[in-house]
Amino acid sequence: MARRYFGTDGVRGRVGTHPMTAAFALRLAGAAARVLSPSGGRVLVGKDTRLSGYMFESALEAGFVAAGVDVLLAGPLPTPGIAYLVQRLECDFGAVISASHNLFDDNGIKFFDRSGAKLADELEEAIESHLDEPALTLESGALGRATRVDSERTLYQSFCASTMPTGTTLAGMKLVIDCANGATYKVAPRVLSDLGAEIVPIGCSPNGRNINDGCGSTNPGLLKLTVSGVRADAGLALDGDGDRVVMVDHLGRSLDGDQLLYVLARARLATGDLKGPVVGTVMTNLGLEVALAELGVPFLRAAVGDRNVLQLLRTHGGSLGGEASGHLLCLDKTTTGDGLIVALQVLSVMKATGKTLAELAAGMQKFPQLIINVQVARRFDAAADKTVVAAIAKVEQELGKRGRVVLRASGTEPVIRVMVEGEDAQAVGRHAATLAEAVRAAAMAA
């Protein structure tokens, strides 16, 4: 069945607009309880720092309790922290209230199963099948209970620290940490500080409205200035729910997820700990593929989305993968994307090698890449249009093996994304403009 509400990362939208309303969250909780814990059990609920989180937390709590499920309320905690604590606290499932890297007027709800993994499509479809039913309310003796477990975040902090190689500390390192005024604002600075780093915190003063606002992994400008200004060894910027990270070297230059993957893959290769292929997506910079090939490391591309990366890693026995956005997977350390744990792995490489982040990333040269979003009146398969196919073939012939073309329809808006990569920035721009015009003309004729 086609899913009406669940997208690539749970249910998400503008607060106050269906489905992101308190009434819908109440029904969603009942539907999830029916599917994920039909005989009671317990659920762990966490959130980021959005003002609307209070509303959705209360609605989910009411829906779960009414369905006979005990609720553990963790308060503000990173999404990967909930994934970990679901297992540690032996819950039947977990729920996270967050819209990740979006601004505060959006919010979302996503679920984890008892193993801390995102739900399979079939489970999300089963939950949706119950959404049209009346809200479930059991008789008084069968209702669930709600308990605050805010202090359990220390378990997650200890887990993050434990992913560092035995005996490794961050003593002697000066780090700038940008928590995007989001869910990591308590745990991330404490983990880094407990490991011995001198930290300079920014984006750690949430007020309910400033999450991801001019800060965090999507806006690392302030981080770059601060790292240079205080002469830090490195900086790290997380997003609002803590599953993404970008880093900044001591020169104030940002490193995206592709570059961090290179650093980790090369380090694991050197120690014999690299398992299987590295997995990126169709949008991963060609520079990563070329750099890994020079090291003899196999590289595979999945469709966009961490779910697809995870599936390909599992299929081929890999442990490292992710996207340029900084949503990376280190499956030898944890089950889901965790920005703080990824940053700790990179920092441990710096400590082990004595090299700067700039030196570690120098072996990968990013290829110039340009993405043009072509607005279309309605969805159509641009890659099946004869004129577009001919234009792509011509560009690919000119680029040769040192360039790529990707056409991808947006999953959330009427847009065709035209991406061109190559060694020459001017040629990339020219080719991208040509293909965008071909797609625009085909769309008008369709």
Based on the fold, state whether residues 61 and 123 are members of the same structural domain: yes
The mean pLDDT of 64-79, rounded to a whole number, is 98
Pair (198, 232) in one structural domain? yes
- Tell me how far apart the alpha carbons of residues 277 and 313 are, in angstroms, rounded to a whole number: 8
Please enumerate in sequence order all residues whose Cβ is within 8 A of that of 53, keeping only pairs 6 or more positions apart, or say none: 47, 76, 97, 98, 107
Q: Of the ranges 5-9, 48-52, 259-263, 370-374, which one carries the lowest mean pLDDT score?
A: 5-9
Calculate the average pLDDT of the chain.
95
Q: How many CB atoms lie within 10 A of CB 120?
A: 11
If asked whether residues 167 and 203 sit together in one domain, one would say yes
Instruction: Give the C-alpha separation, 116 to 295, whole Å.
Output: 33
Q: How confident is the model at residue 51 (pLDDT cuts 50, 70, 90)?
A: very high
Annotated catalytic residue 100: yes
Rounded-to-integer distance, Cα 202 and Cα 223, Å:
8
Decide if 5 is inside a domain: no
Using 50, 70 and 90 to split pLDDT, how confident is the model at 412?
low
Indicate whether 127 pLDDT > 70: yes
d(Cα 410, Cα 373) in Å, to the nearest integer?
9
Q: What are phi and psi for residue 407, nearest 5 degrees?
A: -115, 125
pLDDT for the residue numbered 336: 92
Query: Which of 93, 116, 151 is the last residue in one of the domains?
Result: 151
Please compute the mean of the pLDDT values over residues 114-135 and round it to a whole number: 93
Handedness of CA 103, 108, 113, 119 (dihedral sign): negative
Instruction: Report the number of distinct structural domains present in the chain.
Output: 3
Same domain, 254 and 379: no
Indicate whether 3 belongs to any domain: no
CA dist list (Å): 317 to 96, 275, 281, 328, 332: 28, 7, 17, 16, 11
pLDDT band at 9 (very low <50, low <70, confident <90, very high): confident
**3-state secondary structure labels for all residues of the chain:** CCCCCCEECEEEEECCCCCCCHHHHHHHHHHHHHHHCCCCCEEEEEECCCCCHHHHHHHHHHHHHHCCCEEEEEEECCHHHHHHHHHHCCCCEEEEECCCCCCCCEEEEEEECCCCCECCHHHHHHHHHCCCCCCCCCCHHHCCCEEECHHHHHHHHHHHHHCCCCCCCCCCCEEEEECCCCCCCCHHHHHHHHCCCEEEEECCCCCCCCCCCCCCCCCCHHHHHHHHHHCCCEEEEECCCCCCEEEECCCCCEECHHHHHHHHHHHHHHHCCCCCCEEEECCCCHHHHHHHHHHCCCEEEECCCHHHHHHHHHHHCCCEEECCCCCEEECCCCCCCCHHHHHHHHHHHHHHHCCCHHHHHCCCCCCCEEEEEEECCCCCCHHHCHHHHHHHHHHHHHHHHHCEEEEEECCCCCEEEEEEECCCHHHHHHHHHHHHHHHHHHHHHC
Find where tokens 């920014």 sit.
Answer: 202
- Same domain, residue pair 274 and 211: yes
pLDDT at 1 over 90: no
Does residue 257 lie within any of the structural domains? yes
Reply yes or no on whether the pLDDT at 446 is more than 80. no
Asked if residue 408 has pLDDT above 90, the reply is no
Of 98-107, 295-304, 398-407, the one with minimum mean pLDDT is: 398-407
Same domain for 183 and 215, yes or no, is: yes
Same domain, 313 and 421: no
Q: What is the mean pLDDT of residues 167-180?
A: 97
pLDDT of 2:
66
pLDDT at 5 > cutoff 70: yes
Question: Using CA atoms, how far apart are residues 314 and 327, in angstroms rounded to an integer?
Answer: 17
Confidence of residue 331 (pLDDT cuts 50, 70, 90): very high
Please state, for a pLDDT cut of 70, what percent of the chain lies above it. Answer: 99
Sign of CA dihedral 324, 327, 332, 333: positive
pLDDT grade, residue 124 (50/70/90)? Answer: very high
| pLDDT score of 382 more than 90 | no
Query: What integer is the mean pLDDT of 265-280?
Result: 97
**90 found inside a domain:** yes
Distance CA 429, CA 185 (A): 39
Q: Does residue 41 belong to any structural domain of this protein? A: yes
Percent of the chain with pLDDT over 90: 89
Contact between 175 and 200 (Cβ < 8 Å): yes
pLDDT over 70 (residue 324) = yes
137 phi and psi angles, rounded to 5 deg:
-135, 115
Q: β-strands 42-47, 93-97: how paired? A: parallel
Q: Contact 258/292 with Cβ under 8 angstroms?
A: no
- In tens, the pLDDT along 207-239 reads 999 999 999 999 999 999 999 999 999 999 999
Q: Give me the pLDDT at residue 73, please.
A: 98
Residues shown for the chain: 446
Per-residue pLDDT, averaged over 298-305, amounts to 94
Domain-located, residue 191: yes
Q: Catalytic one among 100, 254, 319, 325?
A: 100
Average pLDDT over every residue of 179-187: 98
Q: What is the arithmetic mean of pLDDT over 30-37? A: 97
CATH number at residue 61: 3.40.120.10
Rg (CA), the chain: 22
What is the Cα–Cα distance from 207 to 401, expressed in whole angstroms?
Answer: 49
Question: Per-residue pLDDT for 378 more than 80?
Answer: no
pLDDT of 411: 65
Average pLDDT over residues 118-142: 93
Confidence of residue 167 (pLDDT cuts 50, 70, 90): very high
Decide which of 26 and 377 is more confident.
26
- pLDDT tops 60 at residue 314: yes
Q: 185 — alpha (psi -120 to 50), left (phi > 0) or beta?
A: alpha
The domain of 83 spans 11-151
Same domain, residue pair 383 and 311: no
349 lies in some domain: yes
On the question of pLDDT at 271 being above 80, the answer is yes
Q: Is residue 156 part of a domain?
A: no
